[in-house]
Amino acid sequence: MSDRQHLDDLLLKVRSGDEKAFEELYSLTSQKVFGYVLSMVKNYHTAQDITQDTFVKIRKNIDKYQSGNAFAWIMQIAKNTTYNEINKSKRVVPFEELPPKKKEKSYVIDDSGIPILEIIDNRLEDTDRKIVLMHISSGFKHREIAKILDLPLGTVLWRYNKAIKTLQNIIKEEYGE
Amino acid sequence: MKRKEINNLINSSIQKNTPKLTKKILSAPINVSNNAVEVKAEKQRAFVFNKPAVKWISAVACVLVVIVVASILGVAFAPKNVDTPVTTLQTTCYQIDINPSILVTTDKDGKVLHVSSCNDDGDVVLSGEVFDEYEGMNIEEFVKVFVDESAKLGYVDLSDQNNEMTITVVNGEDQGKLQTIANTLSEKIQNYLRESNIYMYVKGACQSISDFIKDLGFENVGNNMDNYLEQLESKNKFFSADSISDSFISDIENQLRQFVDELRQKKDLLNQLDNINDKIDELCGHDYWLSKSNYQLGIGDYSQEVISLIEQGNSINDQLYELDLNIYSSIKLNAQLVKYEIIDDIIIFVEDIDEYLKDKSFLDVILIFISEEDKEFYIQLQEKLTYYYEEVVEKIENIYEERIGKYLDSYLNRPQISEDDYDDFLASKN
């Protein structure tokens, strides 16, 4: 059974109330959703919150799911949730009403010891960061990214490769790998 | 650090940072659908071409085929001055062979544009001073000079009245029409030579472009193409892509369809092999490759069911091998790119099929038709294509590695069987 068919199966099972299927669905797709959201919001906490909200919405709206492209459906919910959040944050908040700024938690670093997500956040241009995260962690094809970011496909390809080379150079120079 | 390692690093970091499944999520109600849940089998995605892409790819592939042929053979327009039927193409290629063998390009008035050799003897003949100014000669005059020069160098004995010459016309038109063109031109040249007391039987032949390219081999097509195109382009402004592409479109489209069909078959076969492998694994605890080797060596005692699965696997393997050869040749045939306007379409096309590709030569891009005015654009494009090329090649290599990776250990460590033992094994089966 292909991944796509498996996801479709899982969503259909969730639609009939199967919690086990939802757990599996979460383990298979949460990483991709998080990668996409992180690419769009560039904030660890917000990305985590939006990822969780996305799955809440999936549960609430599962009855609307029609058998088909399951992953596209999930990502569409992720996109909508992200855009809602971005729009919300654009609203003007009086200064005195702003919550005290929390100390930003840094990313959990994997066993390699290279803080790759921080490097991506701080050292890549914003567009390049989005392209890299969407492509690598969420599995979007370049042409899909071109559509999402409203850029020519060639530019996406070019920027992606430029960004990867930048990361390679940084890792080589600063971490000796 | 390699690209693949960077990908892994990013994915692993994302995984570490992805929120766990929390109560907040699980406490949200699932809106259970009242509709009966029907788990549909996945509809096999038909491999449908992006139509505009096909159109463009086809058109440009056609153009390239013409250009490639032209660059090797020399392209001649159907020469009006020999009363040959006028082709719908602006260019036609002639291979002239009296061993030496050469390739001639003429314009639509039958004037020679370019000449190149097909073999070493052709090289020797064409190096003569007499060919320094061949441009603008009529094809008949040119052929006579070629015959005279060949005779002077001892390749042809003009006193022998049994000499033969073959003129092969190559282009994409229907064979009947080509043959008529070839016959008419041969007769005309034969008569022209006779007026100079050169008696030679001139035979007309024709060949389609795809056959011609297959015969020629794509390795050769690449040689000297750049220089040749440069010359051809600088001297022949009429050499327009659009005007010569139409008649080839259906031909190339069919080739592309066949190519995709082969990829689809390959996917099916790989899936079948995966299934067989899983079944064998279930039945005897190791995979198809090891079982196959053991069975052939007579190691272990396999049930009839396993033997039958091994034989099915062998048959699929043979089919895969054949198919790979076909796919490889199709890829080669379609690898001769492309006019720059369609690069995006090509990229989309490749993204659609890249999971079935293992051959990176598909992306060996040759850019043509770049005018001076487009130079800046051309440089940017080269940059983009280079990046793209590197990325897709890596992607294809990774996918392939992933596909064969699970079999690799068994395959590399499989017991070896000598040819004699294998013959004995086959004999024992019979």
Residue B157 vs residue B38, higher pLDDT: B157
Instruction: Give the nearest chain A residue to B41 (CA atoms).
Output: A5
Task: Give pLDDT tens digits for A31-48.
Answer: 999 999 998 887 888 888
Please state, rounded to an integer, the average pLDDT across all residues of chain A: 81
* A155-159, B175-179, B240-244, B292-296: least confident range: B240-244
User: Which of B9, B352, B355 is best to mutate for the A interface (most A CBs within 10 A)?
Assistant: B9
Cβ atoms < 10 Å from Cβ of B32: 14
- Between these two residues, A81 and B261, which has the higher pLDDT value? A81
Q: In this structure, what token pair is assigned to residue B235? A: 């001297």
Mean per-residue pLDDT, A142-163? 78
| Structure confidence at residue A111 (pLDDT) | 78
Asked whether the beta carbons of residue B391 and residue A112 sit closer than 8 angstroms, the reply is no
Which of A6, A7, A11, A153 should be substituted to probe chain B, the one whose Cβ sees the most B Cβ atoms within 10 Å? A153
Q: What number is the average pLDDT over the span A49-54?
A: 91
When pLDDT is cut at 50, 70 and 90, the band that residue B352 belongs to is low
Give A91→chain B minimum CA distance, Å: 26
- pTM beyond cutoff 0.80: no
Q: Is B6 at the interface with chain A, CB within 8 A?
A: yes
User: Cβ contacts (< 8 Å) between B24 and chain A: which residues?
Assistant: 52, 56
Residue B416 CA: distances (Å) to CA of B280, B290, B313: 20, 10, 18
pLDDT of res. A102: 46
With b meaning 16 or more CB within 10 Å and e meaning fewer, what string describes B383-408?
Answer: ebbebbbbbbbbbbeeebeeeeeebe
ipTM above 0.85, yes or no: yes
Chain B partners within 8 Å of A156 (Cβ): none
How far off is chain B from A98, nearest CA to CA, in Å?
25
Name which of A25, A12, A6, A10 is nearest B35 in CA terms: A12
pLDDT in tens, B122-145: 777 887 777 877 778 888 888 888
Statement: residue B197 has pLDDT above 50: yes
Q: Is the Cα torsion angle B19, B25, B31, B33 positive or negative in sign?
A: positive
Over residues A91-137, the pLDDT tens digits come to 544 444 444 444 455 777 777 888 899 899 889 988 899 999 998 88
B378-426 pLDDT, tens digit each: 455 555 555 555 555 565 556 555 655 555 566 566 566 666 766 676 6
Sorting pLDDT into bands at 50, 70 and 90, what band is B112?
Answer: confident
| Chain A, chain B: beta-carbon pairs less than 8 Å apart | 161
Amino acid in position B332:
K
Res. B12: pLDDT tops 50 = yes
pLDDT for A25 equals: 92
- The mean pLDDT value for B210-229 works out to 41
Q: How far apart are CA A131 and CA A116, in angstroms?
A: 15
Q: Residue range B217-238: average pLDDT?
A: 38
* pLDDT tens, residue by residue, B292-316: 877 877 777 888 998 999 889 888 8
pLDDT at B172 over 60: no
- The owner of tokens 């069919």 is B254
Decide if pLDDT at B44 tops 70.
no
B1/A168 touch (CB, cutoff 8 Å), yes or no:
yes
3 state DSSP class of A141: coil
Question: What are B58-86's pLDDT values in tens digits?
Answer: 333 333 333 333 333 333 333 333 333 33
CB within 8 Å: A167 and B6:
yes
Average confidence (pLDDT) over B362-378: 42
Contacts of A23 in chain B (CB under 8 A): 21
Nearest CA to CA, how far is B335 from chain A (Å)?
19
Q: Please report the pLDDT score of residue B347 as a whole number.
A: 53
pLDDT mean over B11-32: 85
Of the residues A29, A31, A110, the best mutation for testing chain B's interface (the one with the most B CB atoms within 10 Å of its CB) is A110
Contacts of B37 in chain A (CB under 8 A): 12-13, 15-16
Q: Is B167 helix (H, G, I), strand (E, B) or coil?
A: strand
Task: Choose among B14, B42, B390: nearest Cβ to A34.
Answer: B14
Locate the chain B residue with the closest alpha carbon to A141.
B351
Nearest CA of chain B to the CA of A73: how many Å?
16
Q: For chain B, what is the total number of helices (H) and then of strands (E)?
A: 16, 6
Residues of A in contact with B402 (CB under 8 A): none
Residue B44, chain A, CB below 8 Å: the answer is no
Is B18 within 8 Å of A17 when comparing Cβ atoms? Answer: no
**CB pair distance less than 8 Å for B6 and A19:** no
Closest Cα to residue B97, out of B119, B112, B75, B77? B119
pLDDT mean across residues, chain B: 62
Window 178-237 of B: residues touching A by CB (8 A cutoff) are none
**Between helices B209-216 and B304-334, what is the axis angle to 10°?**
110
Burial code (b: 16+ CB inside 10 Å, e: under 16) for B254-264 equals ebbeebbebbb
Listed by number, the residues of chain B in 297-356 with a beta carbon closer than 8 Å to a beta carbon of chain A are 343-344, 347-348, 351
For residue A110, give the nearest of B12, B383, B387 by CB distance.
B12
Predicted pLDDT of residue B164: 85
Query: Where would I find the H helices in B18-138?
Result: 23-26, 51-73, 120-126
Give the residue among B316, B28, B2 at the shortest CA–CA distance from A22. B28
How many degrees, rounded to 5, is the angle at CA B77 between CA B71 and CA B83? 150
Residue A85 sits at φ, ψ, to 5 deg, of -65, -40
Query: What is the structure's pLDDT at A165?
Result: 84
- Residue B95 in 3-state DSSP? strand
Predicted local distance difference test score (pLDDT) of residue B402: 61
pLDDT at B275 over 50: yes
